[in-house]
Copies of this chain bind each other. A is one copy, B any other.
Amino acid sequence: MREVGIGIAGFGTVGGGVISILRSHAREIEARLGARIVVRRVAVRDPEKERMVDLDRSLLTTRYQDLVADPTVQVVVELVGGTTEARSLVLAALAAGKHVVTANKALLAFHGEEIFRLAEEKGVDVYYEGAVAGGVPVIRTLREALASDRIQAIHGIVNGTTNYILTSMAEKGEPLATALAEAQRLGYAEADPTLDVSGGDAAQKLCLLAQLAFGARVAPQDVLTEGIMGLLPEDFAWAKEFGYALKLLAVARRSGPNGGDAGGLIEARVHPAFIPRDSMLAGVRGAMNAVLLHSEALGPTLLFGQGAGAMPTGSAVVADIIDLSRNLLSGSPGRVPLPPATSTVRLRSHAEIRTAYYLCFSVKDTPGVLARIAATLAGRGISIAAVQQREHEEEGAPVALVIVTHQAREADLKAAIREIDAYETTAAPTRLIRIEQV
């Protein structure tokens, strides 16, 4: 039977998942592929460390170069993480004419251009299904299934940690700190959860999706990014009252008038958003992930599943290894090229982005406050869709005034809020959450 030799760098959670799937599903894989996938080398930092999965010690090495130098390794699987060592390893593997599978979103978000350019030069493939939404086949769908279509918008719940926290807040009415602590206790959030709760992780994934969908070169630091740390239990109560769910969304879309294409402008943003309660995305609970694609011919397509973990991500990595093996065995590497980066696609400036907003003002309960706020909004061309005011709990305490706006320009909205926050009748900075009709 024919063989495809792979080398794996990194033997942590996902690496263990990959090896365990390759082993336990070997028979199915051989039947489907007509060839055997053989692990030739595994590079690790500490060869003495106890592992969840047994492995022949003679395969272990501490030098990544051993994978690159081994002529029997055709595919290098990068599971090291980070962007320094991983970048050197991937570039060295590509330079040596080896194919690469990686689940490293940060690496591709920050160094994708360099990596994809070298891969193209060398006529080898880079596959990365595991980098976004774990085992959910979103990369494959964008690269292949929608090859004939034109994507209009992507709305994703691509960070399981924050979705777990927001689900707890919505369903148990918990404050964020409680929900976060519980997520940490259960292993859904890391000890330092910054990358997740800041929206940074979702922004990196969004860059990969925007590249595939729009041929756009977007860097994580250029994505409008707001995290979840400012959310309060009362936001969820208001969401319910207005018929919304509250989710951390990653959004990339063509950014013309009415969402159409306007000279290659796109927008890319990650932020908490109110979405209609009957939207499929509103049903995505706990640590699950989902990506909703809107395309010209297909209309809406939703892909949903587990976004992380040894087996889901390991499964995506193994599916990539199989796909690459098919290319190798049939002599067709480069079979599905990345969509050409379209130099004419530009990112709309944050100031120009238009969405509807939920605004929560904390105001002193004196006559004329609502009138003044409404006038300020109107002065900036911001039109009001709904207003609600809660009874104050004690005499003289500030009251919450909630205004839902129609679509407004980000710069106008921010300017209006700056103005309103300077009023002496404003008791605390105004809070905002964007509203997405998905």
For A315, the chain B residues whose CB sits under 8 A away are: 146, 148-149, 295, 297-298
Given A144-B323, A146-B319, A339-B32, is A300 in contact with B311 using a C-beta cutoff of 8 Å? no
Which of A89-97, A129-137, A353-361, A409-417 contacts its partner?
Answer: A129-137
Check A140 against B144 for contact (C-beta < 8 Å).
yes
Q: Which residue of B lies closest to A311 (CB)?
A: B297
Check B285 against A283 for contact (C-beta < 8 Å).
no
For A312, the chain B residues whose CB sits under 8 A away are: 297-299
A314 to B297, CA, bound (A): 8
Find the residue from A21, A29, A148, A299 having the highest chain B CB count within 10 A.
A148
Check A145 against B149 for contact (C-beta < 8 Å).
no
> Is there a chain B Cβ closer than 8 Å to A330's Cβ?
yes
A150 to B312, CA, bound (A): 12
For A150, the chain B residues whose CB sits under 8 A away are: 25, 28
Q: Which residue of B lies closest to A25 (CB)?
A: B148
Check A337 against B32 for contact (C-beta < 8 Å).
yes
Q: Which residue of B lies closest to A299 (CB)?
A: B306
A269 to chain B, nearest CB (A): 23
For A321, the chain B residues whose CB sits under 8 A away are: 148
Which chain A residues numbered 298 to 324 have a C-beta less than 8 Å away from chain B?
A: 298-306, 311-312, 314-316, 318-319, 321-323
How does the 8 Å CB contact mask read for A130-164 relative to B, with 1 for contact and 0 for none? 00001111001100111111100000000000000
A32 to B338, CA, bound (A): 8
Check B147 against A322 for contact (C-beta < 8 Å).
yes
Q: Which residue of B lies closest to A171 (CB)?
A: B278
A233 to B28, CA, bound (A): 46
> Is there a chain B Cβ closer than 8 Å to A336's Cβ?
yes
A3 to B275, CA, bound (A): 45
Which chain A residues numbered 315 to 366 have a C-beta less than 8 Å away from chain B?
A: 315-316, 318-319, 321-323, 326-327, 330-332, 334-337, 339-340
How does the 8 Å CB contact mask read for A273-291 relative to B, with 1 for contact and 0 for none? 0000010101111000010
> Is there a chain B Cβ closer than 8 Å to A31's Cβ?
yes
> Is there a chain B Cβ closer than 8 Å to A200's Cβ?
no
For A331, the chain B residues whose CB sits under 8 A away are: 330-332
What would 5 A/B residue contacts be, using CB atoms closer than 8 Å?
A21-B297, A29-B147, A144-B322, A296-B311, A299-B306
A interface vs B, CB < 8 Å? Answer: 17, 21-22, 25, 28-29, 31-34, 129, 134-137, 140-141, 144-150, 278, 280, 282-285, 290, 295-306, 311-312, 314-316, 318-319, 321-323, 326-327, 330-332, 334-337, 339-340
Known: A140-B145, A330-B335. 19 other contacts (CB 8 A): A25-B150, A25-B297, A28-B147, A32-B337, A144-B322, A147-B319, A147-B322, A280-B280, A280-B304, A282-B283, A297-B314, A297-B318, A298-B315, A301-B304, A301-B305, A326-B332, A326-B335, A327-B335, A331-B332
